[in-house]
Amino acid sequence: MTVDREEDAPVERGGVVPERALAAAAMAVLCAITFANVVARYLTAYSFAFTEEYSVFLLVVMTFLGTSAAIATDRHIRITVLVDKLAPGRRRVAGVLCWGVAAVMFGLLSWYGGQFAYDNWRFEETSPGLGVPVWLYTVWLPILSIVITIRALMRTIAAARGNAP
Amino acid sequence: MSPIALLFGGFLLLLLVGTPIAVALGLSGTLAILAADLGIMAVPTNIYAGVAKYPLLAIPVFILAGLIFERAGVARQIVTFASSIVGDRNGGLAVVAVLVCMVMGGISGSGPADAAAVATVMIPSMRKAGYPAAFSASVIAAAAATAILIPPSVAFIIYSVLVPQASVPALFAAGLIPGLLAGLSILIPVVILSRRHGFGLAGAGPRPPFWRSLRDAIWGLLAPVIILGGLRLGVFTPTEAAVVAVFYGLLIGTVVLRTLTFRKIGDVLAESAEMSAVILIVIALAGVFAWAGSTLGAFDAVADGILSFTGNEIVVLLLLNVALLGVGMLLDAISVFLILLPLLEPLVAAFGWDPVWFGVVLTMNLAIGQFTPPMAVNLMVTSRIAGVPMEHMTGWIAWLVLSMVGALALVVIFPELALWLPRRLGYL
């Protein structure tokens, strides 16, 4: 079960993962922009609702950074009731399988996400709100997917060595 | 293998070996898309578009607000205030725990966060007053489940993103009466059990003075008023209400109570970013699963299968609730929404059910699942804080589950319990 995840995550403890700190920064900026928007709308006639585009982009970045951090700390939602009942040898196989599969998913996403961003660049698409080139936003999808893939691979190796749940 | 078999079979298999749910959904969807040659670029497109949505911004901000109020320690002042009203004899402290869970549920939108905030403060003082830790932990886990029904609620925001006909304000209003009803359904067995077993007869000391404790608690008590009042008056969108709550919480934590240090704030930001990412990545990758399933016509096929088995509305509703309670025991509420809503939507349309009422019924089922073993997220939190293994709590939990199922039955039989308030407020 997921009860004592913080304590028994052997790979990295919470705060040391850089993705976690960056995700926190994205969260802070996101809140600051949204709050500034509310204040500006009520105290002045001036509205900068166009920042919505940046907020949504920060949401995507925060999601991928946080996903990577949560792989390191094993905080992702997964069913461990069945795997926990297995003998240690089989549990190791299941561990390698489940994190290896995660590496495959984000590996695929790095590749096809790269094509997606490349298409945005090739066709010179611009965002409907601010006219920013779309690839500047979407290029982070493959970049951060590569980061997640590496984290998942580290976890797979740890599982193969038998020191990860 | 047919793409539909690959989609459902692959998902189940990955889920059972312990793969993160997000990955199980995304990969089975991707494989089905590849097998049926539907166009692989749907994968990155759906994943990016799945998260890049303005309404989803409310989720991380509400999670952050809940954590800030938890770490600022407002629960302690609210506990003192509630005991000044209820008193602490004859099960009084257990009643206080349930009431505080409900108030905290009006600030945070997630059950485990609510359970953590209340359990940290209440379990030690309940132990001093003679309540067994297993009982206290069970009561708090069950009462904290009302957090996803009492607005604001992360579960309702996600439901609204998936079912756009049901607006967030309508769902928030619809959740209020069923949420209070669920709280009441916990209070009744709690009072009966404490009296029968003689828990809390000793009391935990002199009753705190009313006015003084009101003055200390008022900062925390105002938070739900600001959030819900702002939403009701149409002053804020849900995201704005959440961000106002965040800055209000920061103000209380740094200036009024002086419990939040710079370091703690950084910690809370990282914690909430990670918690939100875990939810949002499931939403992103579930988009691939849902796109593959609906393009292949898989969900309609399943719904047709159910309808050809029986067209009786009451039988379907009954089976649905039993199935949901079962699924809710194994999976968390948000994953269940993302996996099952595409399957359930054709059924809702076929019977002409109100989508807002259906959202409340669904959420209530999953609230019960939050404290029903084996995968009970709230119980995990309270059992860790109380230092009691979950198996020791099942005897108490059974009564609380049974009682909240009663409250659920009332909402299923009388849809007006959910729909009266949003209609009255003009959201329907």
Taking only the tens place, the pLDDT of each residue in B217-228 is 898 888 888 888
For position B185, what pLDDT does the model report? 96
Is the pLDDT at A3 greater than 50? The verdict is no
Q: What is the mean pLDDT of residues A33-40?
A: 87
User: Domain tally for chain B?
Assistant: 1
CB of B60 less than 8 A from some CB of A = yes
The predicted structure's pLDDT at residue A165? 53
Report the pLDDT value the prediction gives residue B9, as an integer from 0 to 100.
92
Report residue B231's pLDDT band, with 50, 70 and 90 as the boundaries.
confident
| B286 domain-assigned | no
Q: Which of B373, B378, B286 is nearest to B336 (CA)?
A: B286
3-class state of residue A133 by DSSP = strand
pLDDT at A163: 67
What average pLDDT does the structure give for chain B? Answer: 89
Q: How high does pLDDT run on average in chain A?
A: 84
A109 and B247: CB-CB below 8 Å?
Answer: no
B8 falls within a domain: no
- Contact B393/B131 with Cβ under 8 angstroms? no
Q: Collect all residues with Cβ–Cβ distance below 8 Å to B291 and sequence separation of at least 6.
A: B29, B33, B42, B46
Looking at residue B204, its pLDDT comes to 59
**Sign of torsion over alpha carbons B399, B402, B405, B410:** negative
**What value does the mean pLDDT take over residues A112-127?**
92
B23-71 pLDDT, tens digit per residue, is 999 999 999 999 999 999 999 999 999 999 888 998 999 899 988 988 8
In the prediction, which pLDDT does B105 show? 86
* Residue in B27, B31, B34, B48 to test binding to A, most A beta-carbons within 10 Å: B48
Q: Which residues of A touch B54 (CB under 8 A)?
A: 52, 55-56
| Token digits of residue B305 | 């299968």
Higher pLDDT, residue B169 or A162:
B169
Predicted pLDDT at A10: 37
pLDDT digits (tens, 9 = 90+) for B252-271: 999 888 888 888 999 999 99
Instruction: Give the whole-angstrom CA distance, residue B206 versus residue B109.
Output: 33
CB within 8 Å: B27 and A105? yes
Is there a domain that residue B48 lies in? no
Residue B345: predicted pLDDT: 86
Residue A15 pLDDT: 46
Between the alpha carbon of residue B323 and those of residues B207, B344, B359, the distances in Å are: 46, 12, 16
**A–B interface: beta-carbon pairs under 8 A:** 194
Residue B181 falls inside a structural domain: yes
Does residue B35 belong to any structural domain of this protein? Answer: no
Interface residue B370 vs chain A (CB under 8 A): no
Which one of A76, A125, A144 makes the best mutation probe of the B interface by having the most chain B beta carbons within 10 Å?
A76
Domain that holds residue B181: 56-279+297-424
**How would residue B77 be classed by pLDDT, with cut points 50, 70 and 90?**
confident
Domain assignment present for B273:
yes
Label residue B414 by pLDDT band (50, 70, 90).
Answer: very high
> For every residue of B54-80, which 3-state class applies, written as one string?
HHHHHHHHHHHHHHHHHHHCHHHHHHH
- Model confidence at B205, pLDDT cuts 50, 70, 90, reads low
Whole-number pLDDT of residue B113: 82
Residues B273, A66: C-beta atoms closer than 8 Å: yes
- Range with lowest mean pLDDT among A29-38, B67-76, B139-148: B67-76
**A37-56 residues touching B, CB cutoff 8 A:** 37-38, 52, 55-56
Instruction: Quote the pLDDT of residue A8.
Output: 35
Give Rg (Cα) of chain A: 20
User: Any chain B CB within 8 A of the CB of A59?
Assistant: yes
Mean pLDDT of A20-49: 86
- Looking at residue B343, what is its pLDDT? 84
> What is the biggest distance separating any 2 CA atoms in chain B, rounded to whole angstroms?
72
Query: What integer pLDDT is reported at residue B126 of this predicted model?
Result: 87
**Residue B167 phi/psi, 5° resolution?**
-80, 155
Angle (deg, nearest 10), helices B262-296 and B21-35: 30
Beta-bridge mates of residue A126 = A133
The minimum CA-CA distance between B372 and chain A, rounded to whole Å, is 14
Question: What is the reported pLDDT for B73?
Answer: 83
Residue B248's alpha-carbon distances to A37, A161, B108, B340, in angstroms, are 16, 47, 13, 36
Contact status, residue B130 vs residue B91, Cβ threshold 8 Å: no
Phi, psi dihedrals of residue B234, rounded to the nearest 5°: 75, 15
Pair of tokens at residue B180: 């209070």
For range B322-336, the mean pLDDT = 80
Q: What is the mean pLDDT of residues B341-364?
A: 91
Q: Is residue B302 part of a domain?
A: yes
**Cis bond leading into A128, ω under 30°?**
no
**A16 pLDDT band (50/70/90 cuts)?**
low
pLDDT above 90 coverage of chain B, percent: 42
User: Chain B interface, mutation test: which of A7, A71, A79, most B Cβ atoms within 10 Å?
Assistant: A79
**Residue B296 token pair:** 């292949």
- B188, part of any domain: yes
